[in-house]
Chains A and B, each alone.
Chain A
Amino acid sequence: MAILDVHNLTTQIPTARGNLTVVDDVSFSVEQGECFGLVGESGSGKSMTVKSILGLVPAPGRVTAGSVHHGGHDLTKLPGPAMAAIRGRTIATIVQDAVSALNPVYRIGRQIAEPMLEHGLVRSRAEGRSRAIALMAKVGIPAPEKRVDDYPHQFSGGMCQRVVIATALSCDPGLILADEPTTALDVTIQDQILKLLVSLQHDLGLSLLLVTHDMGVVAQTCQRVAVMYAGQIVELVRTEDLFRKPRHPYTAGLLNCVPRLDGPARRLTPIPGAPPDLAAPPSGCRFHPRCPLAIDLCRSGTPALSEVAPGHFSRCIRQDALTADLWETADA
């Protein structure tokens, strides 16, 4: 049963240079209890997709097509108050910069309890406070009874992220949208937070939509993953299959240009060029100017996301020509 069903979601932002299609016909679903990864580089549209799901696309941008089904409703069609009732309640969000996600003038306990009070899950401040202490313990903050009355500046970056996670959990959401939750953290703290998210997901049966640029994070946490490029999903498949046999040249290129901690030290082959300008994207396949497999059909056609192997979707029409050493033989 899918807890989130996104169909043909399209978001556009009008600018002086033209209409930017930052989310282009994106479709995927997050199953109950699953951790689904949305991975891509800057400008790929992954953060905008999350904002579009939440109805928080900054003006003048807006969702122009598609639907987002959750709990029997289409979120793109919901009016403001109904959407606000869902945010924080059945869908919670964890953002990248935890320290600025917290209001510096309010105590931690109050901020964790605020969604509960807002959505009517607790009736008094005292009840909110005690539930906040329980949540802080759950996310691994030591001595929560003492720290519940602290202010955000008294917490480190990793602790602030735990507080944000506790706030997200406060209303027992079914789905958590995590937008690069560990990017701003040190490696050892990132490791702690990721392991925490995975264990919470198991214990509470949560579904998690994890947005990241780090392939390692995806490998360690997600069951299925969608790779985004220039606003489109270019590949969607189970995580093991993505790493074992990617079926899109961009994915293969990404995997190939990430330096490894294990294995023999070999020369990385970078993907030449840069992501396209969304105001004037390349014709046909968005990736073709940088792709070693590009042919004329790639430039003229409009490749669709199709199932090229059981449960494995790719937007590349030449994916069967994709070999393991594609990028190693291509000229850097």
Chain B
Amino acid sequence: MPEPLLQVRNLSKHYGSNRSLISRLSGAPAPRLIAVDDVSFTIGQGEIFSLVGESGSGKTTLGRTILRLIEPTSGSIIYDGTDITALDKTRLRLARRQIQMIFQDPFSSLNPRLTVRQMLGEVLHVHGIRPPEQIDSRIAELLSLVGLAPDSIDRTPRHFSGGQRQRIGIARALAVEPRFIVADEPVSAVDVSVQSQIMNLLLDLRDRLGLTLLFIAHDLSVVRYLSDRVGVMYLGRIVEIGTRDRIFAAPRHPYTQALLRAAPRPDPAHRGTEAALGGEPPSPLDPPKGCHFHTRCPRATALCRNIAPPPETVAPDHIVRCHHHDPAFA
């Protein structure tokens, strides 16, 4: 069995460990925000793995921590056999050629002052990917790879629509010729018709370039379309992880089941009257003891309120963290 391309082991990110002098002296309890709580998963070569969760789940922080744009508090990230949490600056820079990121907001992910030529040329130049005389032709190749006309090369971002900007962002990430891309909600901020264009583009790029993708999203139908495997996050923890088919056809965690029920179906014949999940997500500054989900869970018991459920394998490549996981799914 080939080694997975990315292994995340016990990764955590806490905020609030640096306190001011005054708050230390006053003896007040330290506010700690646990954005990512002891997360572990693997991604195989050529796979599209999706992390799905609502706001506050920690999925964006996790994505940025994998690139070390945010430094992890503890845990390890093993990419292609190397633990990148231990890399020094120079080696990290080299590693950055392998792992890239695509961002969510097409309106703030591109420098408004640079033209497309400058943006892409800069990447090619800094990393020495092409000699100066070949830069223009490589830029044209990248643009056609993402479906943009070559005459857009000397325009600044404000001449482009949201979908086009996303394509430029993808071209920029591809310029370093990475093997692994973390896509942080790249289709959440664009229109539906553009969403499908970008999704198909990502699938094509995966097939043509042999990319591996970590796809971060909150929209389950998008996740179902793109993913091979899925991880569901709630308040910093992965509560369920497995293949796409298992998660969507046979979810076991009550949160996953609620997410699937809550998504509005384009099917007027089936209208629910009851909300799928009541209550509010708890504050990450003050997470519930035991299982984080117990405050909203219909199956919560005293056990859930005190002991965080350990990961349990319910099927090949399907792990759940719930004391009362249950295939029953209305």
Tell whether, in the assembled complex, residue B264 and residue A259 are in contact, meaning their CB atoms are under 8 Å apart: no
Main secondary structure of the interface of A (DSSP, over half): helix
Question: A-B contact count, CB below 8 Å?
Answer: 132
Q: Which residues of A contact B218 (CB under 8 A)?
A: 186-187
The answer, yes or no, to whether B260 is at the interface (CB within 8 Å) is yes
A260 to B224, CA, bound (A): 8
Tell whether, in the assembled complex, residue B264 and residue A239 are in contact, meaning their CB atoms are under 8 Å apart: no
The answer, yes or no, to whether B194 is at the interface (CB within 8 Å) is yes
8 Å CB contact of B277 from A188, A239, A243, A255: A188
Q: Which residues of A contact B272 (CB under 8 A)?
A: 195, 220
8 Å CB contact of B278 from A192, A198, A265, A274: A192
Beyond A187-B259, A199-B273, whether A41 also contacts B266 by CB under 8 A is no
Beyond A195-B274, A259-B225, A270-B197, whether A41 also contacts B268 by CB under 8 A is no
8 Å CB contact of B192 from A41, A156, A261, A262: A41
Residues of A within 8 A of B (CB-CB), count: 48
Residue on A with the closest CB to B197?
Answer: A270
Beyond A186-B55, A260-B221, A270-B193, whether A219 also contacts B265 by CB under 8 A is yes
Q: Which residues of A contact B222 (CB under 8 A)?
A: 259
The answer, yes or no, to whether A279 is at the interface (CB within 8 Å) is no
Tell whether, in the assembled complex, residue A188 and residue B266 are in contact, meaning their CB atoms are under 8 Å apart: no
8 Å CB contact of B191 from A42, A189, A191, A240: A42
Q: Which residues of A contact B220 (CB under 8 A)?
A: 187, 261
Tell whether, in the assembled complex, residue A191 and residue B262 are in contact, meaning their CB atoms are under 8 Å apart: yes
Q: How far is the CB of B4 from chain A (nearest CB, A)?
A: 24
Q: Which of B218-243 contact A (CB under 8 A)?
A: 218-222, 224-225
Beyond A42-B191, A259-B221, whether A214 also contacts B264 by CB under 8 A is yes
Residue on B with the closest CB to A216?
Answer: B264
A218 to B263, CA, bound (A): 12
Residue on B with the closest CB to A272?
Answer: B197
Q: How far is the CB of A2 from chain B (nearest CB, A)?
A: 22
Q: Which residues of A contact B271 (CB under 8 A)?
A: 219-221
A197 to B268, CA, bound (A): 16
Tell whether, in the assembled complex, residue A191 and residue B265 are in contact, meaning their CB atoms are under 8 Å apart: no
A259 to B225, CA, bound (A): 6
Tell whether, in the assembled complex, residue B263 and residue A186 are in contact, meaning their CB atoms are under 8 Å apart: no
Residue on B with the closest CB to A257?
Answer: B196
List 19 A-B pairs, Cβ < 8 Å.
Answer: A158-B280, A159-B280, A188-B275, A191-B262, A192-B277, A215-B192, A216-B264, A219-B264, A219-B266, A253-B193, A257-B195, A258-B192, A258-B221, A260-B221, A269-B196, A270-B193, A270-B200, A274-B163, A275-B191
Closest 7 CB pairs of A and B: A216-B264, A191-B262, A257-B196, A186-B54, A259-B225, A270-B196, A41-B191
Known: A191-B261, A192-B275. 4 other contacts (CB 8 A): A158-B280, A213-B192, A217-B264, A257-B196
